[in-house]
Structure 1
Amino acid sequence: MTSNSEMTGGEAIARVLKALEIGPMFGMGGFQLLPFYDAARRIGLNHNLINDERCAVFIADAYAKVTGRVGVCDATLGPGATNLVTGLVEALNAGSPLVVFVGDTHRGHSWKNMTQESRQTEILRPACKDLIRIEVAERIPELVRRAFAVATSGRPGPVIVDVPEDICHAELVFDMADLEADPVHAAAPAVRCRPAREDLERARDLLAEAQKPIMLCGGGVHISQAADEVQRLAEALNLPVAHTMTGKGAIACTSPLNAGLFGRYDRIANTLIEESDCILVAGCKLGEIATKRYSVPPAGKTLIHLDILAEEFDRTFPADLRLWGDVREGVRDLRLSLEARGSEIRSRQQGYADEVAKRMQTWRASVDERLTSTEVPINMARLMHELNQRLPAEGILVADGGFAAHWGGLLYDTKQAGRGFVPDRGFASIGYGLPGAMGAALGAPGRPVVGLTGDGGFNMTMGELETARRLGLPLTVIVVNNAASGYVKALQHLMYGAGSYQSSDLVEVNYADVAQSLGCRGIRVEAPDEISGALDSALSFREGPSVLDVVVTRDPAKMLPGVDNRAATVRKGDRVA
């Protein structure tokens, strides 16, 4: 016997989301979605007002990155919809599963100069994995379920559900059974596939015979939740592992097999890659930064590429062997196929593994002076060193898209396998630090969360401190205060010399005072010996957000963790986008 109920289209959407057991949802309402908002209140969806739609997507993106579950948000039509674009492209490029509901005009009045009307579906379509427009109200349950299935299959990504006003406000009868949904589709990967057996056998043979193999891991390792399998493979074979910024945590940075970041900035990894005779790339697109503008790895290397998205094969480097499938399943199958020879390979590779650990130890000693620097204003390396000392193994560092991500990628050490470092490198947008920390805190309650952002990035999104305070989120935001758009100023210094700065300076601001004026805890840090105490104080405060305003070097020659390789490229006559 079925149970029928009359409701609005907006309520039908809310009930399917409830059945999917979604997590916290953020949005800024408008008339088009009011029936959904009313239903969300009545049925108990965890929906929260945001101050800027871009931040709603950033929060959903970080929540998805940390949990693997679908991040959900909404926006009204017109400017609400167009404000989503930057965050959507971050999620699209990063492989974050999101479902985003966007209100649209009444179909009976479209193209009659309705308020805030635009060709929003045409604007949004290139910024998402799929765009589903609901044209028939009776299909709401089917199409909402479809959005979650697409978002969590293959390479995950953002799916937009475009909801015309008349669809959301329409009243119709639904069979309540049709509003049910399987929560399995609210997390990614919802389905998995394996590389072909013959390809795995060939990969097994290449790795078994290699004298100096190395594994390069990208963010796909975390999307696939494969870090534990990567660590098992590395330990089974004494296989060194290097990582991109998004791949940090593929194995613990404290593991003797960790070779650190590779690409534009590296510790020892680029040299190891140059010396290697077999490279296993897992869940990595081998983009510009990871390859030091396409110069790493050098030509002629034997390269095995494992990825869920076939389009990534040969995009930047030709692979000798392409393993098309889920990273976790592919790495697991490789490990199992090598079990019979595991002890032999591990023994043979012991000297190589010891050399990797020795090189890393030598590197750490070479940078110790900067890590423990007593400079005032504070050296960025000292700040990262203190974060390594104070943030516990279960902590999460969220890094904004500018030099915060580069410093974090190079110097921050995750102490266990898994996603403990969350940079927004899909699009590298500035402004992610605070909303990203909010999403991480919501996705991992109880775990210490620190957002690392520049003063420029914080200026863009500081209004969300009100949201974080309203929700009582116990997170810490570190504002790297150099009174500049630091990355741009550093590049101008590299390219044109000292004093050649244009539109890259900011006025001095005390962000601790800003935080306090918004009802949050604010601490200004001006000397290196103040960092540890300030971090301890902020991390122990569990009643709401804390902001550490850390005054760092104003010297543009010291703002980057190394020389940006693009400067050398430009001086050779090439253009930089």
Structure 2
Amino acid sequence: MPDTVTANSALEMQGGEAIARIIRAFHGGPMFGMGGFQLLPLYEAVRRFDMPHHLMNDERSAVFLADAYAKVSGRVGLADATLGPGATNLVTGLAEALNAGTPMVCVVGDTHRDHAWKNMTQECRQTELLRPVCKELIRIEAIQRIPELMRRAFMVATTGRPGPVVVDVPEDLMHATHTFQAEEFEVDAIHEAAPALRCRPDGRAVEQAAALLAGARRPFILAGGGVHISGAAETLTGFAHATNIPVAHTLTGKGAIPCTDPLSAGLFGRYDRIANGLIDEADVILVVGCKLGEIATKRYTVPGPGKTIIHLDIVAEEFGRTRRADVLLWGDARLGLEDLQAALLAKAPDTKSRLASYAGEVPVRMAKWREDVAPRLHSTERPINVARLLTAINTVLPEDGILVADGGFAAHWGGLLFDTKRAGRSFVPDRGFASIGYGLPGAMGAALAAPGRPVLSLTGDSGFCMVLGDLETARRLELDFTVIVVNNAASGYVKALQHLVYGAGNYHSSDLTEVNFAEVAKAFGVTGIRVEDPEGIEDALRQAMAIKGPVVLDVIVTRDPAKMLPGVDNRAAVIKKGDRIA
């Protein structure tokens, strides 16, 4: 059977081949998944077309890997699963991608329609389970519509706020044959990556926002992950430099302006360096691509009352969800910032000079913060203080390096202390859903998306244990990255919270068995390095990054639950019983 459909030709093919042809037409990147009978025609077509597809050991890892690949590359992440348990294993990763705005297409096999609801093996109401965790679920009911509906999947995944689209394909349509016409496999190339389409905010709203910023004494910018989805990091950095307006970021917004930039106030919200204080002093706040969720707002207390807020976002549904704004800028972050900068400087060309003294406060405060927390950033205590580990990562990871961070514990430490050195997404946390288990597959996805760039991943021992099986996958794919296991022999976040809420010694179901993960790595045939001395962290990181192939760096960190949360300045934490924190 020929590999291509030439112009004005027709070709009979199975439904699975039609799906593969559309993916190939979009120049789809690597696919990740686990097959089954329902998907055999898709896998066979992918094999014949020599399309990149990688077998995973768990479908959750497959969709996490596709998520990280898409976040780093901007292109559509691709995953697949067979029916029943294959489909249901996608749920957590799909929820991450939906909340994070990750462009993704997942092809899922389903029951033969002639035998549905007759106790077919592995059958369940999977479309009902998957529908709430994807941007759109497309059920294919006619083989001749496969090209049309697959094109729609890529269109939906890459427009507006991007997101995951599930294409549910019954077994009989995947295996059946149909004669397709060549033009049915022609696609619009703009939907290969996100954002595929851009729109500008209303001009009158832009003028209103510019007038507020022109009259502000202490304007401030809050940048979220939408800045990266839009590819607007360099634009935002340029906006900040042209106006001298400082910028703080969320966990997913890190890199919206380089952390090393004098105008960067670092992370804001639950954990911060100096940002929350500056927000409290601000009079006008520009929110860009940020949902103002629980973590970013310190459970809806930051910013405080009485602030004038301008909100720029592509998703109108986010306006007013957690905080009412005075001016709404509905549109693409990059174009919105371009228009706002032009309007502001036309109205107040002296903005940069007028705010110079105010902007100069930021590096002074940041330097004072670093001085205050230096004993922990450079701690020599054993077991190792996590702050010392992050300090070493900042020292060793070059400007083009990427740090992936697992949910919860690792993401908060990385979000607070990791310093990006250039604009753009160099920090990849799974904060859309904040599940754990992302560290290893996330590193794999980042390595595939950015070959040649150094990739480190920060994960806890709990999260690493969830996905250990895909060390085999990493070895098989010969991927270059280092996964750093923050080994505290505990479910660290939970134990730290038990310590805060119930007091010392009141811990339950939060301790793990001591495991030497360097030896575990060696059992999988990959390099394992164990670090117990803080003075050896930098050398170990350099050694790991010089090795070809995956490396597991097992770092033995503090067992003291009072030191597990990333409050390096030892601020007091007040948590009421019943509060949830993640």
Q: Shorter-normalised TM-score: what interval?
A: over 0.9
Give the equivalent residue in structure 1 for 2:356: 350
Q: Any idea what the Cα deviations from partners look like across 1:120-167, whole Å, max 9, x if unmatched?
A: 000000010000011000000000000000000101000000000000
Give the equivalent residue in structure 2 for 1:560: 565
Give the equivalent residue in structure 2 for 1:361: 367
The reply to whether residue 547 of structure 1 matches residue 555 of structure 2 is no
Secondary structure of 1:568 counterpart: coil
Q: Please, which of 141, 144, 157 is the counterpart of residue 138 of structure 1? A: 144
Aligned residue type for 1:349: L
Taking only the aligned residue pairs, the percentage that are identical comes to: 68
Q: C-alpha separation between the residues in 1 aligned to 2:488 and 2:455?
A: 23
1:28–1:75 CA contact under 8 A, matched in 2: yes
Q: C-alpha separation between the residues in 2 aligned to 1:160 and 1:388?
A: 38
Secondary structure of 1:338 counterpart: helix
Aligned residue type for 2:434: A
Give the equivalent residue in structure 2 for 1:388: 394
Q: C-alpha separation between the residues in 2 aligned to 1:282 and 1:574?
A: 28
- Map 1:356-435 → 2, pairs under 5 A: 356-435=362-441
Aligned residue type for 2:276: N
1:371–1:381 CA contact under 8 A, matched in 2: yes
2:531–2:555 CA contact under 8 A, matched in 1: yes
Q: C-alpha separation between the residues in 2 aligned to 1:183 and 1:405?
A: 34
Q: Please, which of 265, 269, 272 is the counterpart of residue 275 of structure 2? A: 269
Secondary structure of 2:350 counterpart: helix
1:431–1:457 CA contact under 8 A, matched in 2: yes
CA RMSD of aligned residues (A): 1.4
How far apart are 1:177 and its partner, in Å? 2.4
Q: C-alpha separation between the residues in 2 aligned to 1:474 and 1:201?
A: 48
Q: Any idea what the Cα deviations from partners look like across 1:411-433, whole Å, max 9, x if unmatched?
A: 00000000000000000000000
Give the equivalent residue in structure 2 for 1:519: 525
Q: Please, which of 477, 480, 493 is the counterpart of residue 471 of structure 1? A: 477
Aligned residue type for 1:559: M
1:570–1:576 CA contact under 8 A, matched in 2: no
Q: Please, which of 166, 176, 194 is the counterpart of residue 160 of structure 1? A: 166
Secondary structure of 2:122 counterpart: coil
Instruction: Classify 1:566/1:73 alpha carbon distance in 2 versus 1 (closer, same or farther; 3 Å).
Output: farther
Secondary structure of 1:7 counterpart: strand
The reply to whether residue 254 of structure 1 matches residue 233 of structure 2 is no
Q: Please, which of 201, 214, 225 is the counterpart of residue 219 of structure 1? A: 225
2:211–2:347 CA contact under 8 A, matched in 1: no
The reply to whether residue 532 of structure 1 matches residue 538 of structure 2 is yes
Aligned residue type for 1:135: E
Q: Please, which of 236, 240, 246 is the counterpart of residue 234 of structure 1? A: 240
Q: C-alpha separation between the residues in 1 aligned to 2:163 and 2:99?
A: 8
Q: C-alpha separation between the residues in 2 aligned to 1:515 and 1:183?
A: 41
How far apart are 1:569 and its partner, in Å? 4.2
How far apart are 1:182 and its partner, in Å? 2.6
The reply to whether residue 497 of structure 1 matches residue 503 of structure 2 is yes
Aligned residue type for 1:497: G
Give the equivalent residue in structure 1 for 2:43: 37
How far apart are 1:341 and its partner, in Å? 5.2
Q: Any idea what the Cα deviations from partners look like across 1:247-282, whole Å, max 9, x if unmatched?
A: 000000000000000000000000000000000000
1:63–1:440 CA contact under 8 A, matched in 2: yes
Aligned residue type for 1:159: V
Give the equivalent residue in structure 2 for 1:119: 125
Give the equivalent residue in structure 1 for 2:460: 454
1:491–1:567 CA contact under 8 A, matched in 2: no
Q: C-alpha separation between the residues in 1 aligned to 2:357 and 2:579?
A: 42
Give the equivalent residue in structure 1 for 2:4: none
1:25–1:47 CA contact under 8 A, matched in 2: yes
Q: C-alpha separation between the residues in 1 aligned to 2:25 and 2:153?
A: 14
How far apart are 1:568 and its partner, in Å? 2.4
Instruction: Classify 1:576/1:373 alpha carbon distance in 2 versus 1 (closer, same or farther; 3 Å).
Output: closer
Give the equivalent residue in structure 2 for 1:283: 289
Q: C-alpha separation between the residues in 2 aligned to 1:412 and 1:176?
A: 50
- Map 1:97-108 → 2, pairs under 5 A: 97-108=103-114
Q: Please, which of 443, 452, 455 is the counterpart of residue 449 of structure 2? A: 443
1:189–1:223 CA contact under 8 A, matched in 2: yes
Q: C-alpha separation between the residues in 2 aligned to 1:480 and 1:546?
A: 14
1:293–1:565 CA contact under 8 A, matched in 2: no
1:402–1:454 CA contact under 8 A, matched in 2: no
Normalising by structure 2, we get a TM-score of 0.97
1:19–1:182 CA contact under 8 A, matched in 2: no
Q: C-alpha separation between the residues in 2 aligned to 1:206 and 1:566?
A: 35
Give the equivalent residue in structure 2 for 1:506: 512
Q: Any idea what the Cα deviations from partners look like across 1:462-485, whole Å, max 9, x if unmatched?
A: 111111110000000000000000
How far apart are 1:340 and its partner, in Å? 3.0
1:264–1:565 CA contact under 8 A, matched in 2: no
Give the equivalent residue in structure 2 for 1:50: 56
Instruction: Classify 1:413/1:246 alpha carbon distance in 2 versus 1 (closer, same or farther; 3 Å).
Output: same
1:27–1:75 CA contact under 8 A, matched in 2: yes
Give the equivalent residue in structure 1 for 2:67: 61
Secondary structure of 1:294 counterpart: coil
Q: C-alpha separation between the residues in 1 aligned to 2:278 and 2:110?
A: 53
How far apart are 1:339 and its partner, in Å? 3.0
Q: C-alpha separation between the residues in 2 aligned to 1:539 and 1:515?
A: 16
1:292–1:565 CA contact under 8 A, matched in 2: no
Aligned residue type for 1:555: D
Instruction: Classify 1:530/1:183 alpha carbon distance in 2 versus 1 (closer, same or farther; 3 Å).
Output: same
1:236–1:342 CA contact under 8 A, matched in 2: no
How far apart are 1:224 and its partner, in Å? 0.4
The reply to whether residue 170 of structure 1 matches residue 170 of structure 2 is no
Q: C-alpha separation between the residues in 1 aligned to 2:51 and 2:476?
A: 17
How far apart are 1:352 and its partner, in Å? 0.4
Instruction: Classify 1:575/1:408 alpha carbon distance in 2 versus 1 (closer, same or farther; 3 Å).
Output: closer
Instruction: Classify 1:433/1:174 alpha carbon distance in 2 versus 1 (closer, same or farther; 3 Å).
Output: same
1:566–1:576 CA contact under 8 A, matched in 2: no
Q: C-alpha separation between the residues in 2 aligned to 1:368 and 1:567?
A: 20
Q: C-alpha separation between the residues in 1 aligned to 2:178 and 2:293?
A: 49
How far apart are 1:442 and its partner, in Å? 0.6
Q: Please, which of 164, 176, 189 is the counterpart of residue 195 of structure 2? A: 189
Q: C-alpha separation between the residues in 2 aligned to 1:519 and 1:479?
A: 17
2:210–2:347 CA contact under 8 A, matched in 1: no
Give the equivalent residue in structure 2 for 1:18: 24
Q: C-alpha separation between the residues in 2 aligned to 1:395 and 1:184?
A: 28
Aligned residue type for 1:560: L
Q: Any idea what the Cα deviations from partners look like across 1:482-511, whole Å, max 9, x if unmatched?
A: 000000000000011111000000000000
How far apart are 1:567 and its partner, in Å? 6.4
